[in-house]
Amino acid sequence: MHTPLLEAEGLSQHYGPTRALDGVSLAFAAGTSTAVMGASGSGKTTLLHTLAGILVPGMGQVRFGGADISHLGDAERSRLRREHFGFVFQQGLLVPELTAIENVALALMLTGRSKRESLPYAAGWLAALGLQGLEERRIGELSGGQAQRVAIARAQVTGAQIVFADEPTGALDSQTSQEVMQALLAATVGQGRTLVVVTHDREVAAQCQRTVEMRDGRVVRDSAPAGEGPAAAYPAAPSGDASGSWPGAEGLRGER
């Protein structure tokens, strides 16, 4: 087997007597989608934050492309997150004072690009996610589903190899949830990228190739332990083969 893109080994995270994570080992192959499920308090968000380098594990190691990232300094972990990871959270992490296009461009600007350079890429991703014409709206002027699409665009505009999503559809009705999830899968796995999504929603999880279930900080079920999801189990992009119509984040990476 190839080196997994992301690997966790023996992760533990204790808060006083609470074992938020208790010896979790998981591997995620490139280009796969994984849903993390489990009851409230089972450790899902702690796992996501530890995998993404937001939290440093109390014990254990996270490897990205084979390199230990869990013990990098704060600045290096921040850089890794900005340049290689994307985030979609329930509250979107969007800046309400900024427009949709400014929110997406901001992710690129944080990696050192000028606003002028960033705006066309942001516009490309908004269009790819069906938001053409809404670029100048502020976040409060968008529906919940539209705002989550802005968050997906923001998570992908830097060419992130992995997108971590925490309840990305938690605040949406069931039809909008399905649409946002389709958009998220098309923008990630559909482009050969990797998605790890925490969700309570079985319908959302069913769209992922793999489901990991947590209880009391442990993995109690894993539908594909090696991290190799069944090939092409994810739904096609909403408009068929989207691969030609997505903005060239890869080209962007190459220009650096």
Ligand X SMILES: Nc1ncnc2c1ncn2[C@@H]1O[C@H](COP(=O)(O)OP(=O)(O)OP(=O)(O)O)[C@@H](O)[C@H]1O
The binding site for ligand X (CB under 6 A) comprises 15, 18, 20, 38, 40-46
CB-nearer residue toward ligand X: 77 or 193? 77
Structure tokens at 3: 């080196």
Number of other CB atoms surrounding residue 68 within 10 Å? 12
Nearest residue (CB) to ligand X, 42 versus 103: 42
Q: Please tell me whether residue 195 adopts helix, strand or coil conformation.
A: strand
The rounded distance, in Å, linking the Cα atoms of 100 and 12 is: 38
DSSP letter, residue 234: S
Quote the least distance from Cβ 156 to ligand X, whole Å: 24
CB-count burial class (<10 Å; 0-12, 13-18, 19+) for 74: exposed
State which residue, 14 or 115, has the beta carbon closest to ligand X. Answer: 14
Residue placing its CB nearer to ligand X in the complex, 78 or 90:
90
> Minimal distance in Å, beta carbon 6 to ligand X?
18
For ligand X, the closer of residues 91 and 243 by Cβ is 91
Q: How far apart are CB 42 and ligand X at their closest, in Å?
A: 4
CB of 203 to ligand X, least distance (A): 17
Closest approach of ligand X to the CB of residue 46, in Å: 3
